[in-house]
Structure 1
Amino acid sequence: MEFIVSDISQLSPRPVWAFFDQICAIPHPSYHESQLAQFIIDWAKGRGLAVRQDNAGNLFIRKPATPGMENRKGVVLQAHLDMVPQKNENTDHDFTRDPIRPYVDGEWVTADGTTLGADNGMGMASCLAVLDADDIEHGPLEVLLTTNEEAGMDGAFGLEAGWLTGDILLNTDSEQEGEVYMGCAGGVDASMHFPLERQAIEEDLARFTIGIKGLKGGHSGVDIHTGRANANKLLARFLSHHLDDVDMSLLAIRGGTLRNAIPREAFADIAVPASQKDALAGAVDRFATLLQDELGRLEEQVTLVMESTDNATNPLTRAVQSRLLAALNAAPNGVVRMSDDVPGVVETSLNLGVINTEEDKITALFLIRSLIDSGRENVQSMLQSLASLANVNVEFSGAYPGWKPDPDSEIMHIFRDTYEGIYQRKPDIMVIHAGLECGLFKQPYPNMDMISFGPTIKFPHSPDEKVNIDSVGHYWQQMQAILKAIPVKTA
């Protein structure tokens, strides 16, 4: 099957790029995967493949072994259906209705002002390309496409025993060609809620929006160690530091869109006495200079804006404002501890991903990650203590386990040997500080042997996301080699 939607469908290997191009053409952000799922169901049925869907929305597609390989161990190829919806502020795009607009940029494919969805669209495209191929040798084959991985791993949580029969699972959600993953971090969501009280102000106040923009953002797991700035933390820092200098009153605060993306932008609506407008502008200018000095080598585009706003709501009471800003400013963020067992890998981290003002409360959303349960529990305790000091509530939800490395993994050895045979060099065997679904798959399928690999994807979860064209070819070649090398099932 070949789809011609944009120029990327002509790239090599064409089977993978053609499917990825079609995936880009169908909106599929988290919670809105049904249109893409239906396309795949219809395509699979048209191809004569057995396809099922469970109560969680996960898709299961089965393909018989190629002749002569019926006695091999069964393989499950796995990807997730959804993508992270992030766009630049000046990009007009509705992720629930508009297609992604991919284009070739030198050695990379990227998108016009939005996330590309190579995470995990490239993996999904390769799974479909294997199903579509008549010239790839493989044993009994299943494809599992899960729902809502990016916003809560709902599909993986909902996966039940008995739906899969394979012995080996190849997760396609890694982002560096030449690396193979055999373990990942677990995580938990934290929501801190600040009840709102507002005060009536008779004085005529000048009202402004203070914004921090232009940060790189990125994945709150794989990019957390890079030192990229968090817009929510920077805004809380500014507001806390200048709260009394200019008699500032907070009307609303908002920043970030996803708890698993490092926030690139954050905004606060504030009010000050008209006589202090110049003092506020001076504080904004000084903080902008400070950020350039601190972050200029990494965050070249960081900017602060100060604009008039028509937000006419009454400001928060001083007590609520003080507790809120103190808590946001004091909240831990970023790397908490590096791993002792896996050099160079983050053990424990957290990301203050979203701040949102609602009618009766302000909510701050965090994502905690850790390779070990005790690390995750330590950060939960830190946030619980912070909430107690601020006299607010914090809730923890959606905890998911990590994926413990198995040094005796058969499929890991197969990957290493086939990769070295193709490229005459060893792959890097890794543990990733991000939430792969493999840890959850181990609960209903504890004996399934698993690895994760994929092409090179840079800046996932941000509008700078891009996938390296050559790496897709290497990844595709490696996948075919692994499928051919799957051993005979002896029991």
Structure 2
Amino acid sequence: MSEIQTLKPSLLWKWFDQICAIPHPSYHEEQIAQFIVDWAKQKQFFVERDEVGNVLIRKPATAGMENRQSIAIQAHLDMVPQANEGTQHDFTKDPIQPYIDGEWVKAKGTTLGADNGIGLASCLAVLDSDDLAHPDIEVLLTMTEETGMVGAIGLRPNWLTSNIMINTDTEENGEIYIGCAGGEDAKLRLPVLYENNPFDTALHFQLKGLNGGHSGCDIHTTRANAIKLLARILTELKAEVAFQIADIRGGSVRNAIPREAAVTLVFDAKNQEKITACLAEMEQVLKTELALAEPNLTFIYNDVSRPENIFDQASSHKVIQFLNLLPNGVIRNSDVVKNVVETSLSAGILKIEGNEVITNILLRSLVENGKAEVRGKLTSLAELTGATAIFSGSYPGWEPDRFSKITPLTKQIYDEILGYETTIQVIHAGLECGLIKKVYPTMDLVSIGPTIRNAHSPDEKVHVPAVEIYWELLTKILAQAPSK
């Protein structure tokens, strides 16, 4: 039991504390899924899993609510595993350590998993509660949302009986989401040639301290992408002094803006002073340029043992040019939805596999032809550089439903709770709603949630007062479910 169990609403925070105690990064949700199934069986609820592992739990209506329409509440089981450098944390074994910091809950050195752990906790709290008025309830908990929406893609048809669903994966108090971007994964494989190292000096350079963040919700900000920033630095350095690359890496998950990147350079000892002077100069330039966006930007460079094998000169130059030309960030803003990004991409991971440099990229767009445009850009880059572009995991966006009945009800209740006009939005991030609509075309969907900042990074935090408002909204929607 941690201190967060002292917060209100107590039942929701009790469940979130329990969720934090059970490791559940993407692809490792089985332990938490089985825990929930076992608990539901003890409560004598209907509980079942489908072919991909999604969990469905049903709870009968409370007295007097039997003639209201059934409502499904949906959350995903996994979280993004990100830790600060120097934090020793095995996400497959170690619990998240939440703590209270003023009006926020954070985690010690890691992502908190409030995305979507607060939504998951609210689903379980509704099932666990003995004093909430609600119609027949279905709780759908999906697998591996953060790395490809595996659960939503494989969702069993004709399983859910509800025609109304509340998705709990929104991250802004006072906003109601009725649409989202679709997405697609891209992997660019750039072949490199190795040679024996003829140089006598090696230097390891690290770019650290960037804010990172969600590659959809934060892509419109001025936050820097560590992979792209490293490419810029190497491009400028290459113009001043000769060197070759022995190793290059950046980022760790495809759907987060990379916070760190690193490269090992080899060169003649006579050029060491010039290289370190150039890096020091670029550090000052970038710290001035990014003073507001990235106040904690840090350069770290130190001598390392001389590696035996390195990229040859042509491959070193090709890698730098490839990364410098790689498109990243906002491609187009929406003409239809004000202040919303229409199409973007984010380079999330840079690594070496054998004789190839691999870049993992996540494309997002509100429109399908937006994804096609970005695919074309990446394909052209691949053809120019001799890389291979592989596209996979495409999922549709969620188009707003102008005939929705749950949206106006949600807005009416939300406006009453807050005392001001809430906003109806479309989000440039991947929610499972579009995929759920593909399997259940008549489902009336809305997405709500409390304020979460810096999701997908170790700076993730959730606003405690917003959680209380979210809980009030969710429970009042259930209590005012439409009649059959």
Instruction: Normalising by structure 2, report the TM-score.
Output: 0.98
> What residue is the counterpart of 2:222 in the other structure?
227
> What residue is the counterpart of 1:213 in the other structure?
208
> What residue is the counterpart of 2:2 in the other structure?
6
**Does residue 248 of the first structure (1) align with residue 243 of the second (2)?**
yes
1:179-194 matches, cutoff 5 A:
179-194=175-190
Match of 2:232 among 234, 237, 250: 237
> What residue is the counterpart of 1:291 in the other structure?
286
> What residue is the counterpart of 2:71 in the other structure?
75
> What residue is the counterpart of 2:100 in the other structure?
104
**Does residue 428 of the first structure (1) align with residue 397 of the second (2)?**
no
In the alignment, the residues of structure 1 paired with residue 482 and residue 195 of structure 2 have an alpha-carbon distance, to the nearest angstrom, of: 71
Cα shift at 1:207: 1.0
> What residue is the counterpart of 2:350 in the other structure?
355
> What residue is the counterpart of 1:274 in the other structure?
269
Cα shift at 1:407: 2.3
Cα shift at 1:295: 0.4
In the alignment, the residues of structure 2 paired with residue 35 and residue 388 of structure 1 have an alpha-carbon distance, to the nearest angstrom, of: 43
Match of 1:166 among 142, 147, 162: 162
Instruction: Normalising by structure 1, report the TM-score.
Output: 0.97
**Does residue 23 of the first structure (1) align with residue 19 of the second (2)?**
yes
CA contact (8 A) 2:199 2:266 kept: no
**Does residue 445 of the first structure (1) align with residue 440 of the second (2)?**
yes
In the alignment, the residues of structure 2 paired with residue 328 and residue 157 of structure 1 have an alpha-carbon distance, to the nearest angstrom, of: 31
In the alignment, the residues of structure 2 paired with residue 82 and residue 169 of structure 1 have an alpha-carbon distance, to the nearest angstrom, of: 20
Per the alignment, in what secondary structure is the counterpart of residue 477 of structure 1? helix
In the alignment, the residues of structure 2 paired with residue 417 and residue 337 of structure 1 have an alpha-carbon distance, to the nearest angstrom, of: 33
1:192-207 matches, cutoff 5 A:
192-201=188-197, 203-207=198-202
Sort the Cα spacing of 1:314 and 1:333 in 2 relative to 1 into closer, same or farther, 3 A: same
Cα shift at 1:25: 0.6
**Does residue 61 of the first structure (1) align with residue 71 of the second (2)?**
no
| Amino acid of the structure 1 residue aligned with 2:467 | V
Report the count of equivalent residues.
484
Cα shift at 1:54: 1.1
> What residue is the counterpart of 2:474 in the other structure?
479
> What residue is the counterpart of 2:80 in the other structure?
84
**Does residue 394 of the first structure (1) align with residue 389 of the second (2)?**
yes
Q: Deviations over 1:171-229 (max 9, x none)?
A: 0000011111000000111100012211223x342111111000000000000111100
CA contact (8 A) 2:347 2:360 kept: yes
Cα shift at 1:313: 3.6
In the alignment, the residues of structure 1 paired with residue 196 and residue 53 of structure 2 have an alpha-carbon distance, to the nearest angstrom, of: 49
Q: Deviations over 1:311-355 (max 9, x none)?
A: 624111222222221111011111111111011011111001110
In the alignment, the residues of structure 2 paired with residue 159 and residue 251 of structure 1 have an alpha-carbon distance, to the nearest angstrom, of: 44
CA contact (8 A) 1:269 1:311 kept: no
Cα shift at 1:472: 0.6
In the alignment, the residues of structure 2 paired with residue 33 and residue 370 of structure 1 have an alpha-carbon distance, to the nearest angstrom, of: 28
In the alignment, the residues of structure 2 paired with residue 405 and residue 310 of structure 1 have an alpha-carbon distance, to the nearest angstrom, of: 57
Q: Which runs of 4+ in 1 moved over 6 A?
A: none
In the alignment, the residues of structure 2 paired with residue 204 and residue 375 of structure 1 have an alpha-carbon distance, to the nearest angstrom, of: 46
- Percent identical among aligned pairs is 50
Which consecutive unaligned segments of at least 5 residues does structure 1 have?
A: none
Cα shift at 1:91: 0.9
**Does residue 131 of the first structure (1) align with residue 127 of the second (2)?**
yes
In the alignment, the residues of structure 2 paired with residue 125 and residue 234 of structure 1 have an alpha-carbon distance, to the nearest angstrom, of: 38
Q: Deviations over 1:335-393 (max 9, x none)?
A: 11111101101111100111001222110111010000111110110111111111211
Per the alignment, in what secondary structure is the counterpart of residue 150 of structure 1? coil
| Amino acid of the structure 2 residue aligned with 1:64 | P
In the alignment, the residues of structure 2 paired with residue 206 and residue 157 of structure 1 have an alpha-carbon distance, to the nearest angstrom, of: 50
Query: Root-mean-square deviation (CA), in Å?
Result: 1.0
* Range with bigger deviation, 480-489 or 256-265: 480-489
| Amino acid of the structure 2 residue aligned with 1:82 | D
Cα shift at 1:424: 2.6
| Amino acid of the structure 2 residue aligned with 1:185 | A
Per the alignment, in what secondary structure is the counterpart of residue 415 of structure 1? helix
CA contact (8 A) 2:417 2:469 kept: no
Per the alignment, in what secondary structure is the counterpart of residue 51 of structure 2? coil
Q: Deviations over 1:373-427 (max 9, x none)?
A: 1111101101111111112111110000000011221000110111123333221
Q: Deviations over 1:154-186 (max 9, x none)?
A: 001110211111110100000011111000000
Q: Deviations over 1:72-126 (max 9, x none)?
A: 1111100000000011101111111110010000010001110000000000000
